[in-house]
Amino acid sequence: MRILIATDAWAPQVNGVVQTLSQVVAQLTAQGHEVRVIHPGLFKTIPCPTYPEIRLALWPFTRLRNELDRFKPQAVHIVTEGPIGLAMRLLAHGRKLPFTTAYHTQFPEYVKARSGIPIRFTAALLRWFHKPSRAVMVPTLSVIKTLQGRGLNNCVLWQRGVDLKRFNPEQSAASKHMSYSPRDLPTDDAQQVELLHRLNACSIEKPVFLYAGRVAVEKNLDAFLSLELPGEKWIAGDGPARKALEKQYPEAKWFGMLNHAALSELYKRADVFVFPSMTDTFGLVLLEAMASGCPVAAFPVNGPLDVVGNSGAGVLDWNLKTAAMAALKIERVVPLKHASTFTWENCAEQFQGYLAPIGLTSTAPKKLSANPKPLSNRP
């Protein structure tokens, strides 16, 4: 099948949307599908207001129209609601081509956190954007319920996965050979080796509470950094709020943006992964941490409720300090076992099953009940 994917999120961006999309494209390509990804790197771009690390494509309509004519896709999927996604939505809808969309980000909540604009306005725009979609792919049942309450009844469950070869509690090859020289193992990741040297050169006061992800206002990091906790607080990631927060909380260890090889070392050494966000639709970092044997502490909100739920792999509490301290008592085998139930193979299989082939006569979106059994752990 020829699959055209239109997205405003792509490398070099580092986030859950890009990781999910990259994994799905790799899975589909390995199965023999021809996948064409239209992304901001193909266009002139400008920085996103309030978030300059994200680049927005300028005038993508003409190129997208030409790609539709040349590639002649048998399925069209729109990932994001940005300039590229909007142009593809207008083109596909105008040509009466069936298409699917995805809901990766709680955009109304993000906009309200950054600008104060009421949720009802951005929710109305999203309803307009996604309503013609044959299926809006959503990562959790709780977010599906939220969208249904906002008038979107074409939502289906599309879960995420984790790479257990990359994220696991086993000691890495680089770590095993740190008593020698990294040059003895030229295949070791340079950033991973540099981080290991940094960790081994300092005394670590246990327990370690870790957050990994974007450092931005919508991630609610103040709720974590302001807690009085024993041991140390580690922050891995970058974003527009980092400078201000680093100045406000100098006692925390700030590691900046890390690749997966280096990040996996932090998951292994952390005692609890603290996730203060209240606006995420899923939270891939939750799976990465648990796959490394690190239990989770979070608020009982969309994302953690579905990914962690009542699995015993973490503690969800409106008092984040209570959750963090209670999570210290969880045996590391519990989150590891739970994370292993989420796979990228299943994620790609669900994605392919929801696609609307061009020329399909039925206009009805797939039913949620037709999905593989959901892995939600909500009580």
Strands in 296-298's sheet, in edge-to-edge order, are 253-256, 232-236, 208-212, 272-275, 296-298, 314-316
Mean pLDDT of 128-141: 95
Task: Say yes or no to pLDDT of 129 above 70.
Answer: yes
C-alpha span between 154 and 367 (Å, rounded): 8
Alpha-carbon distance values, 331 to 47, 337, 342 (Å): 44, 11, 19
Task: Say yes or no to pLDDT of 347 above 60.
Answer: yes
- Among residues of the chain, what percentage have pLDDT more than 90? 73
Mean pLDDT of 285-302: 96
Task: Say yes or no to pLDDT of 138 above 70.
Answer: yes
- When mean pLDDT is compared across 15-24, 114-123, 180-189, 314-323, the lowest value belongs to 180-189
> What is the four-CA torsion angle of 62, 65, 70, 71, rounded to 10 degrees?
120
Output the average pLDDT for the chain: 89
Q: What is the pLDDT of residue 366?
A: 45
C-alpha span between 90 and 17 (Å, rounded): 22
Task: Say yes or no to pLDDT of 375 above 90.
Answer: no
Structure tokens at 213: 């992800």
Contact 79, 8 (CB under 8 A): yes
C-alpha span between 70 and 56 (Å, rounded): 24
Model confidence at 105, in pLDDT bands (50, 70, 90)? Answer: confident
Mean pLDDT of 54-76: 95
Q: Angle CA(222)–CA(258)–CA(164) in degrees, nearest 5?
A: 105
Q: What is the pLDDT of residue 370?
A: 37
C-alpha span between 40 and 18 (Å, rounded): 12
Q: What is the pLDDT of residue 373?
A: 40
Contact 301, 278 (CB under 8 A): yes
Q: Which residues on neighbouring strands pair with residue 136, listed in sequence order?
A: 101, 155
Q: What is the pLDDT of residue 243?
A: 95
Mean pLDDT of 90-103: 96
Mean pLDDT of 175-191: 65
Mean pLDDT of 282-311: 95
Model confidence at 273, in pLDDT bands (50, 70, 90)? Answer: very high
Domains and CATH numbers, the chain: 2-161+344-370 (3.40.50.2000), 173-339 (3.40.50.2000)
Structure tokens at 185: 């193992």
Q: What is the pLDDT of residue 276?
A: 97
Q: What is the pLDDT of residue 362?
A: 42
Burial 356-369 (b: 16+ CB within 10 A, else e): bebeeeeeebbeee
pTM, entire model:
0.81
Model confidence at 114, in pLDDT bands (50, 70, 90)? Answer: low
Classify the phi-psi angles of 280: left when phi > 0, otherwise alpha if psi is within -120 to 50, otherwise beta. beta
The winner for highest mean pLDDT among 109-113, 226-230, 258-262 is 226-230
**pLDDT higher at 186 or 299:** 299
Task: Say yes or no to pLDDT of 262 above 50.
Answer: yes
Contact 46, 58 (CB under 8 A): yes
Q: Which amino acid is at 174?
A: A
> What digits encode the pLDDT tens for the residues 204-225?
999 999 999 999 988 999 999 9
Task: Say yes or no to pLDDT of 314 above 80.
Answer: yes
- Among residues of the chain, what percentage have pLDDT more than 70? 89
Classify the phi-psi angles of 186: left when phi > 0, otherwise alpha if psi is within -120 to 50, otherwise beta. alpha
Q: What is the pLDDT of residue 322?
A: 98
